Chains A and B, each alone.
Chain A
Amino acid sequence: DAMVIQNPRYQVTQFGKPVTLSCSQTLNHNVMYWYQQKSSQAPKLLFHYYDKDFNNEADTPDNFQSRRPNTSFCFLDIRSPGLGDAAMYLCATSRTGSTDTQYFGPGTRLTVL
């Protein structure tokens, strides 16, 4: 049974057209993360939520926003996608953050035309 679910698996958008990626979890974990992974690169953390507390990485562009309406769901909003935002977006969760493993979803591959 899938524990971290991402929808859609593939998303195509146009340059400048807002897009929202979705992540849900059945693990009841406190922490949810969004990573960006460009082709042939390591994942890069964009931000994370500990419960309702939002934590943005210093180098995450303002173009990227996130919402967590409840424990189970977290959204990644890209306000004006550029060609450079084409990437795999990975959602992960962990129970807390101290020593707990992060479990990843299958990812959403974003294409920007």
Chain B
Amino acid sequence: AQKITQTQPGMFVQEKEAVTLDCTYDTSDQSYGLFWYKQPSSGEMIFLIYQGSYDEQNATEGRYSLNFQKARKSANLVISASQLGDSAMYFCAMREGMDSSYKLIFGSGTRLLVRP
């Protein structure tokens, strides 16, 4: 079974509007971490935001916020006030376990295109 599911292969958003990128995950661990990365066409993976499974509040980093719904096992990324430079591939990723697990499991990604 897929561990990380991103159901939106592609999304459009108008500049200055907000957009939500969906991510659902599957794990039996109580401790895990959820990440969002942005990958522009240049190829570099840019860390955006992190949510720990025990964090009670939704993570926020500037224009990025994570809508964490633990019972639903979803961790959607919300980008507010979209900019043209936000056009990129976005990956949701999960790391299971808190001790010796180093592996990031990535979703298949969502390609976001911001329209002027």
Chain B 7-37 per-residue mask, 1 if CB under 8 angstroms from chain A, else 0: 0000000000000000000000000010101
Q: A48 interface residue, CB < 8 Å from B?
A: yes
Name the residue of chain A whose CB is nearest to the CB of B50. A101
| Interchain nearest-CB distance for A16 vs B (Å) | 25
In the complex, chain A residues whose CB is within 8 Å of the CB of B43 = 88, 90, 106-107, 109
Q: A97 interface residue, CB < 8 Å from B?
A: yes
Q: B84 interface residue, CB < 8 Å from A?
A: no
In the complex, chain B residues whose CB is within 8 Å of the CB of A81 = none
In the complex, chain A residues whose CB is within 8 Å of the CB of B98 = 98-99
Name the residue of chain A whose CB is nearest to the CB of B43. A107
| Interchain nearest-CB distance for B12 vs A (Å) | 18
> In whole angstroms, how far apart are the Cα atoms of A107 and B41 in the complex?
11
> In whole angstroms, how far apart are the Cα atoms of A60 and B69 in the complex?
34
> In whole angstroms, how far apart are the Cα atoms of A65 and B69 in the complex?
40
In the complex, chain A residues whose CB is within 8 Å of the CB of B68 = none
Instruction: Establish whether residues B99 and A98, one from each chain, have CB atoms under 8 Å apart when the complex forms.
Output: yes
In the complex, chain A residues whose CB is within 8 Å of the CB of B106 = 42-44
Instruction: Establish whether residues A92 and B45, one from each chain, have CB atoms under 8 Å apart when the complex forms.
Output: yes
15 A–B pairs (Cβ distance < 8 Å), ordered by A: A42-B108, A43-B104, A43-B106, A55-B102, A88-B43, A90-B43, A90-B45, A97-B101, A99-B33, A99-B52, A99-B98, A101-B35, A101-B50, A104-B37, A106-B44
Name B residues whose Cβ lies closer than 8 Å to a Cβ of A: 33, 35, 37, 42-47, 50, 52, 91, 98-104, 106-109
